[in-house]
Amino acid sequence: MGQQFTSDNTAGMCPQALAAFVEANLTGHEDAYGEDTWTAKVCDRIRDVFECDAEVFFVFNGTAANSLILAAMCQSYHSVICHQMAHVDNDECGAPGFFSGGSTLLVSNDPLGKLTPKAIEDLVTQRHDIHYPKPKVISLTQATECGTVYSVNELQAIGKTARRLGLHVHMDGARFANAVVSLNATPADLTWRAGIDAMVFGGTKNGLPMGEAVVFFNKDLATDFAYRLKQAGQLASKMRFISAPWLGLLDNDVWLENARHANAMAKRLHVRVKDLKGVKVMFQPQANGVFLGLDHAVQDGLRARGWVFLVSERGCRFMCSWDVLEETVDKLCRDIEVLCA
């Protein structure tokens, strides 16, 4: 199949990740279950990236990472505040509730896919009685599910609200790299310095074969997390093949380069089609996703020309991956131009 914009996980792994994967196979035997030298090295590198002494774990995918962090933050009678678009609500088959033994999600519908202090406060204070699941966690997605990003100020405001209301903060960073380069901010400023307790540091969409990092800045919350992972079937015995590819991303800031390219391709697409008659820009792209309102005839025309893309109330979604070529973007733009003419 040619390059597509269906998702940023249709792309393969980046050469640097593959090289690290191959290299991890050349050192011969290694200790299993994460006791290997590769995993130790990558955990240290991730602590360097975030400039803090965090607890780091690896899991197979984002659903496991999100839901197990939330389970570590919640009792069964707690609730998690998230946006209506959140992956934890829409795309995880109820895993957060399952792994926490019953916690529920409270959703807000603020603009731009972002939670605000006011929405959070409203959800927390609307009920105080014993019959309502007690709010315990704020879960936010950076970059968001509609291609926007939370600024450092917005994150700090949410962090402050969380502390005042006694809530933990979880960040779904499936596209954290795209937010880092978009905001030109440090990973530390975008996370623990703003009050994030734990995050999913996404690597898959950035060029890994698989394997997201779970990063606990608040180390108290990581107590017994290793047991939770094992019980959930998320402890890889040959862990080094999940961790080592991370070195390929982190060495020489390849992760930021990959994200910079993906974001630039989204911008290229946006700039070329934004003023066309028949194109409605649903969200100003700040990361690697472009969301366009397109007539059904245009959508059908694009499909007839071989393009695959998701459609929802957010519009038609075009995700740019780390390796999408300028030519591919230009070809899509030409097709949209022709169909809108």
Ligand X SMILES: *Cc1c(COP(=O)(O)O)cnc(C)c1O
| Minimum separation from the CB atom of position 68 to ligand X (A) | 11
| Minimum separation from the CB atom of position 173 to ligand X (A) | 8
Q: Which is nearer to ligand X, 8 or 197 (CB)?
A: 8
d(CA 141, CA 88): 9
| Minimum separation from the CB atom of position 201 to ligand X (A) | 11
Q: Which is nearer to ligand X, 133 or 203 (CB)?
A: 203
| Minimum separation from the CB atom of position 31 to ligand X (A) | 27
Tokens, residue 163:
């502390």
d(CA 158, CA 120): 8
Q: Which is nearer to ligand X, 172 or 257 (CB)?
A: 172
Q: Which is nearer to ligand X, 145 or 257 (CB)?
A: 145
Indicate the residue whose CB is closest to ligand X: 62
Q: Which is nearer to ligand X, 113 or 336 (CB)?
A: 113
d(CA 107, CA 83): 5
Q: Which is nearer to ligand X, 95 or 167 (CB)?
A: 95
| Minimum separation from the CB atom of position 183 to ligand X (A) | 17
Assess contact for 261 and 267: CB atoms under 8 A.
Answer: no
Residues that bind ligand X (CB under 6 A): 61-63, 87, 141, 145, 172, 174, 204-205
Q: How would you list the strands of the sheet with 315-319, edge to edge?
A: 279-281, 289-294, 315-319, 310-312
| Minimum separation from the CB atom of position 70 to ligand X (A) | 12
